Structure 1
Amino acid sequence: MNLFTGEEADAFFGGEVPPAVRHLVDEARSKPREEAAVALWTAVLASPQALPVYYLLYKLHAGQGELAQAQRAAERGLSAAAAVAGLPSDWRQVRPGMADFLQPGAARFWLFTLKAQAFILLRRGEPAQVAERLEHLRLLDPADHMGASVVAQLLAQHDVGVRPTTSGC
């Protein structure tokens, strides 16, 4: 079952969850939010290359309005995805052609997590950091396959004093 939708699914965004930490993810599904977060952070510590766990964490924290924790999870997820995909650790140094960002895998997860970071930063009220990430997303994904234009629209609304109301990443 998907931790956030309640739908039956064994697939996770970002790839497979290693068996060594699968029980922690399964445990998180049946626990209250606070205990779910503890189980997922434990999974990250036990298997830092398990990309889906970062996604679950930043979605969980962002959905609860815990934006500092969501940002921390996204930062760590971005770093882990860069390592798995063979990308530079500094997202600003990633250039088109360094990876195939459209194929399922670590590079696509990296690009999606950069977008998630932009959204989280928008909700935190950090528009300059959002704009910086959006500019980089446009460079890496000019056809907007990841949907960064949605975050750009929210940023434009934010810049004219309209607060975004959506809570997803």
Structure 2
Amino acid sequence: MQLRDLFDEVSRGDSQVIPLELQQLLRRDLDVSSDWRSAEDLLLTARERLPHQLEVLVALYKLYAYSNRFDEALQVIDDTLALASQQAGFTADWRQLDENSASWHPARGALRTYLYSLKATGFVRLRRGDLDEAWTVLLKLQQLDPMDQVGGSVVRDMAERLLEDD
């Protein structure tokens, strides 16, 4: 997996203008699976230089999740939810949100990143074995995104099968 693959499915924001530093990062030829430490260092540096760039946070939490570093992934996901909600203009606490908290469809920019990060929360919690917590998050995602714009149903179906097996 290349570093740029961590940016797949990431909303590029409302403006579609990608800062030069992020463009350069996306062009780096770096195999994450064989050199995840360099990838982490690059993403941490990018996070410092581009603190409001949601794409960098998403790539970082994906790196941690794929590396089975679930606590770190969840921390960065929480940071992403906080920043995305701030940029989109609603509370970061997904438990307080409902279908009227924002204009969820069509999901673009920071709002899409928020929904995508809820999906990531469910996925990481599943991988960590927190089935009940994952299920709760994924049900909230279904409420906020009934059109399944970010593909939460795939993770929710996995969670449902795991809960049935329990």
1:151 offset after TM fit, Å? 1.4
Aligned residues: 157
The code of the aligned residue for 1:103 comes to: A
Contact 1:82–1:88 (Cα < 8 Å) also in 2:
yes
Distance 1:152 1:26, change over 3 A: closer
28-37 vs 146-155, which moves further: 28-37
The code of the aligned residue for 1:157 comes to: R
CA distance in 1, matches of 2:126, 2:99: 25
SS at match of 1:95: coil
Contact 2:107–2:149 (Cα < 8 Å) also in 1:
no
Query: Which residue does the alignment assign to 1:14?
Result: 11
Contact 1:134–1:152 (Cα < 8 Å) also in 2:
yes
1:80 offset after TM fit, Å? 1.0
The two structures have a TM-score, normalised by structure 2, of 0.79
Query: Taking every aligned residue pair, what percent have the same amino acid on both sides?
Result: 29
The code of the aligned residue for 2:3 comes to: L
RMSD of Structure 2 on Structure 1 (CA): 2.7
Aligned counterpart for 2:110 among listed residues 98, 106, 110: 106
CA distance in 2, matches of 1:63, 1:112: 16
1:22 offset after TM fit, Å? 2.5
Gaps of 5+ in 1: 163-169
More helix by share: 2
Write out the 4+ residue segments of structure 1 that deviate beyond 4 Å after TM superposition: 26-29
